[in-house]
Chain A
Amino acid sequence: MIPAKFDYVRPSSVEDAVEALRQGGEDAKILAGGQSLLPVLRLRLAAPSVIIDLGGIPELRGVREDGDRIAIGAMTPHHDVMRDDLVKQHVALLGQATETVADPQVRHRGTLGGALAHADPAGDLGAPALALDAEFVIAGSSGRRTVSAAEFFVDYFTTAIGEGEILTEIRFPRYTGWKSHYEKFNRTAQAWSMVAVAAALKVDGGTISEARVGLTNMGTTPIRATGVEQALVGQPATADAVRAAAERATEGTAAPSDADAAADYREHLARVLTGRAVLAAAG
């Protein structure tokens, strides 16, 4: 498990990191928490010429309030995200999904931004980010731009982050008082999701007034279950109503088939788990 040779730089500012990325060209690779990159390097599935470690940039780490948004630095470790009081209060669904990521060691090293930029469709954080309309702040040589979650996820392991750009911050609207749940289905406790469902609800007097539902690993990117959301709104938070709405979970999906689960089984799981996620959220 020996990676191929590479150069290593550890810039102390976003600007320096962007410059290092420009100098490194297309063979440069960004290191966040390293939980996906290092195995890939050690298996020699990637052999970048230079690794740019973002670990020395303080501004990329931490959770803060920014007006009506909760802003999370891209280099904030999963452990910090799920323990953060602002996250618990205003973006609870993200914290719940983060708790299901791998194991404690990985959650101490892996970062929110790293996981989202890696964009593994089986990763757990894309679905809540999409469902909650997160915004992604991306820095490049010409400054910073913001893209919506819907634009951010492009394909398998592909995002809107362009060449020479770095994800710096993920911003969430406040969902204060919403109810939420992340329902994950995997083979072993530390495994990636076979399918998972992120659900957040606003419930007024027993009636669902707003619903956000995101699906993990039901396509090449996280998928928003808009059909389910529409079907839920205005419904009572009862088992029958929720299960009926959950039948629409596979609309617009393109589930993969692999050794653990063929597409038809994933589709079945998506419907069952959507029902469970929404009911658990409704509490």
Chain B
Amino acid sequence: MTTTADPTTHEIGNARTRKEDARLITGRTRYTDSITPSGTLYLAVVRSPLAHATITNINAEAARSAPGVFGVYTAADLGAEGIGLPCAWPVTPDQKAPQRPLLAVNTVHFAGEGVAVVVARTAAEAKDAADLVEVDYDPLDPVLDMEAAAADGANLVHPDLGTNVSATWVFDSAEAGTGNSVADAIAAAEADPDQIVVRRRFRQQRLIPAFMEPRSVVVDPTGEQITMWSSTQVPHILRTMTTVTTGIPESKLRVIAPDVGGGFGGKIGVVPEEMLCVLVAQKLGKPVKWTETRSESLLAAHHGRDQIQDITITAKKDGTVTGLDVSLLADMGAYLGLVGPGVPILGAFMFNSIYKIPAYRFTCRNVFTTKTITDAYRGAGRPEATFAIERIMDELANELGRDPLELREQNWISHEEFPFTTVCGLTYDTGNYEAATAKATELFDYAGLRREQEERRRNNDPVQLGIGISTFTEMCGLAPSRVLGSLSYGAGGWEAASIRMLATGKVEVITGASGHGQGHETAFSQIVADQLGVPFEDVEVLHGDTQISPKGLDTYGSRSLVVGGIAIVKAAEKVVAKAKKLAAHLLEANEDDIEFSNGFFSVKGTDKGKAIQELAFAAFMAHDYPEDMEPSLDSDAVFDPENFSFPHGTHLAAIEVDTETGRVKLRHYVCVDDVGTVVNPLIVEGQVHGGLAQGIAQALFEEANYDESGTLVNGTFVDYTLPSAADLPSFTTGVSSNPATSNPLGVKGVGEAGTIASTPAIVNGVIDALRHLGVNEVEMPTTPQRVWRAIQEAQGRSTQETPVDTHSPGAGLGSIDPNNPQGEVQ
């Protein structure tokens, strides 16, 4: 346990504005693209406009002789034909993982895949010359529908694999010994008139992470170490994986993630352009930079979600759930991303959510198509799971004629039952679903809105009201290393921290959790200020450079605070222990008689003592210190969590649907979340707001659309409809805290909670508004057209859908096809 006798709590819970923001909002950021070592050359990627084709010829003569061009290289020119990018998550022993090349070799497998690179003195010259590279293709049939792709006899993305199914991953609670057999539960329910079976198919559309700062890489090969700056979430993983990919010794690589402008999982990968910059920089002996355009980002950076979910739930007619069967198809795209195949598997443990489900089976087939790869996107597997369970709970409530909130309460784990081991074998440490729900329904005026809904239905109001519910939990704080081992993940889940006590009493904190907009510097400074009893301003947080922070596993899966933050606490405890020993020596007292409080080490029962700053100086001077210690207070720690953290919350959405036009308006949104101890309420609020916006966007706005030839047709921000502040209401947020028992701060993750929770709340609300009209399903995003058609069909007015011309110029700039730069606009 802690050596902190009387921990101070002045900073934890303080809604400080973020110390990093003054720099970020006044243009003093250091993004990768603003780093230009002298002599830097610029790299542009020639990308395939076709989804699936054989490359028959590449003519680079014109490009090579264009102004400023140093070279044009294919994979063969770089000696990279045998190099494949890593996949760190073989989810099954027989997982089929095709080589993911740096540049396509012979065959392109998705539109946007790199075919060659151009290197020039300026970015403009590189782009100009890239347009001059002539690539001849022999088109092959694209593979676009994951269900068809998984069927026997399907056209194959990688013929040598013999199948488009990469892996089939199964969890069965009966086999695992954690629950009953679902097959039995379904058979029993089908045979029993007092039970019910509800089957639904849900579609998780393909999304684009759409981080603010486009990806960028700079590689400088001129030093003893090769230095790589990259707009990445994972500098440490990137360094190791660069070694794995290129064979460059890890000790010869320094990776820096400077200021990184968002990621949302989209910068968790190790990408071809990073490795290409390394190879080209080595080949030419000069620094090389690549910065993507927004269109390249939407087209070629990994996408998220994209699943078909077949869900079967069984229940007694009194509402008690007896079994849940989940069968997924997950679209991997053309290759496997770094953790892509594991993303749907992370969801496996969350379909049962907060409910006591006695029998559970999960099957997922990961499928290849000729589309951009999918990988982690905010929530990664857990939003998909939460959507399915929260949607099917509403469907079950409807079938049983029950209030959906009551049905949930009947089945959820009551607060007296914690800790609770679920049908997946996870142990939820704390939570109180009743308390969060009670607070949320009060803030929302649940009863009042139900009355209004009834009134609008009675009056046949053209604008109908729906109430959307999502009572979610998630597992985050990735992750206990042993659990990752049991899932065959290619790394542990620990995090590292160091604390350096400087001679003048200031503190440097080094974390391996590399932030990219979350507010790590502020939150970690608050924690250290309390742990060491030093002023907040005296703490400097350093991260994102393997020379400064040599050890770490980076930032994803809501892990920075609950894993990285605890590593910092552990390091602080060691600093305090060393300082206590030094204090006892200098004060000529017994160590047991030293008390530590508010940064001051005092001798019990006296007014004698030393401030931590004095002890830091004494350790630096080293004129007088105990024989059995080194003259330093500096300490390192590596923390491996014993469990995930399980935030939860109740999210309620009031949705108005204009039945004449199909327009959905989110009128009011209330969420009450339990994220354990809150270090900084302002940062938590920001995380929740941003998370809600992204989750709501999946429900209402976003989808990456491909046409029948496999072209991404909404690959610009003009037509990939991200919402802005004007499209969202002010959120009402509340907190219902139950500190986690799995870590000394009692914290739980918050980065993904809003995204995971909100999507089903919105869709449930849309359907609740229309249920009395006969509508039971609207696919996401619930666009006005989809809602209007659902109403027409439910009312028996079949609509004749005109064939959609996705290239129609009727949608303003949306007509622009980024894959067809030859297209002409007047």
Contacts and interface: CB of A to CB of B under 8 A. Distances in A.
A192 B788 CA distance: 20
A163 to B, nearest CB: 12
B82 interface: no
B826 A158 contact: yes
A44 B130 CA distance: 12
Given A43-B821, A185-B661, A272-B660, A36 B293 contact: no
Nearest to A256: B810
Contacts of B663: 185
B723 interface: yes
Interface in A256-279: 256-265, 268-269, 272-273
B437 to A, nearest CB: 32
Interface residues of B, number: 51
Interface residues on A, range: 35 or more
A142 interface: no
A263 B802 CA distance: 6
Given A120-B812, A192-B812, A259-B705, A2 B127 contact: yes
B784 A123 contact: no
A41 to B, nearest CB: 10
A230 to B, nearest CB: 24
Contacts of A189: 723-724, 726-727
A190 interface: yes
Interface in A101-126: 103, 120-123
A123 B812 contact: yes
A191 interface: yes
A217 interface: yes
B701 A269 contact: no
Nearest to B805: A257
Interface in B659-688: 660-661, 663
Contacts of A58: none
A45 interface: yes
Given A46-B824, A188-B722, A256 B814 contact: no
B821 A44 contact: yes
B799 A265 contact: yes
Contacts of B813: 36, 39-40, 120, 192
State the majority secondary structure of interface residues on B.
loop
Nearest to B811: A258
Given A188-B724, A190-B726, A191-B721, A260 B818 contact: no
A260 B802 contact: no
Contacts of A244: none
Contacts of B701: 187-188
B825 A45 contact: yes
B809 A157 contact: yes
A278 to B, nearest CB: 15
A259 B808 CA distance: 9
Interface stretch (B472-480, B573-581, B711-719): B711-719
A9 to B, nearest CB: 20
Contacts of B714: 259
Given A44-B821, A188-B727, A217-B810, A264 B128 contact: no
A8 interface: no
A146 B294 CA distance: 41
Contacts of A157: 809, 825-826
Contacts of B824: 45-46
A262 B812 contact: no
B703 to A, nearest CB: 9
Contacts of B92: none
Contacts of A158: 826
Interface of A: 1-2, 4-5, 36, 39-40, 42-46, 103, 120-123, 156-158, 185, 187-192, 194, 217, 255-265, 268-269, 272-273
22 contacts: A1-B294, A4-B128, A40-B813, A43-B716, A45-B825, A46-B824, A103-B724, A120-B809, A122-B811, A157-B809, A185-B661, A187-B721, A256-B808, A257-B803, A257-B804, A258-B811, A259-B713, A259-B714, A259-B804, A259-B806, A260-B785, A273-B661
Given A5-B124, A103-B724, 17 more contacts: A2-B123, A43-B295, A43-B716, A43-B816, A44-B821, A189-B726, A189-B727, A192-B814, A256-B811, A257-B803, A257-B804, A258-B805, A258-B806, A259-B804, A261-B784, A264-B801, A265-B788
